[in-house]
Amino acid sequence: MPLFPDRPRLSQEEIEKRLAAFGKRCREIFDRVSPELIKDHYDWAIMIEPDSGDYFIARDPKVAFQKAREKHPTADILEMRLNETGTCGRI
């Protein structure tokens, strides 16, 4: 049973479309700000809230996320790393 039965359910295609759009907006912000930030903050965490364009950085990802939540308590936040690719770990 859905958690909110009165809301229409999104198709898997719509969910993927929204996630891709969210990621694209975050990537645009990352690509704009990371070249300057990487110089002094290499491999720090960056949390991005794409609707406002705000981003928050800290050496510790928990601290960066806390900063993001203080300003945007209910927004979707994307975590990246200030490095050449933006990735947060290894596969």
Contacts of 86 (CB under 8 A, 6+ apart): 27, 30, 34, 80
pTM: predicted TM-score of the whole model, two decimal places:
0.84
One digit per residue, pLDDT tens: the chain, 91 residues? Answer: 667 778 888 889 999 999 999 999 999 999 999 999 999 999 999 999 999 999 999 999 999 999 999 999 999 999 999 998 888 766 5
Rounded Cα gap, residues 44 and 37, in angstroms: 9
Residue 30 near residue 14, CB atoms below 8 Å: no
Give the whole-angstrom CA distance, residue 17 versus residue 40: 35
Q: What is the pLDDT of residue 91?
A: 57
Q: How far apart are CA 30 and CA 71, in angstroms?
A: 19
CA distance 62 to 22: 21
Indicate the domain borders of the chain.
12-81
The pLDDT value given to residue 40: 96
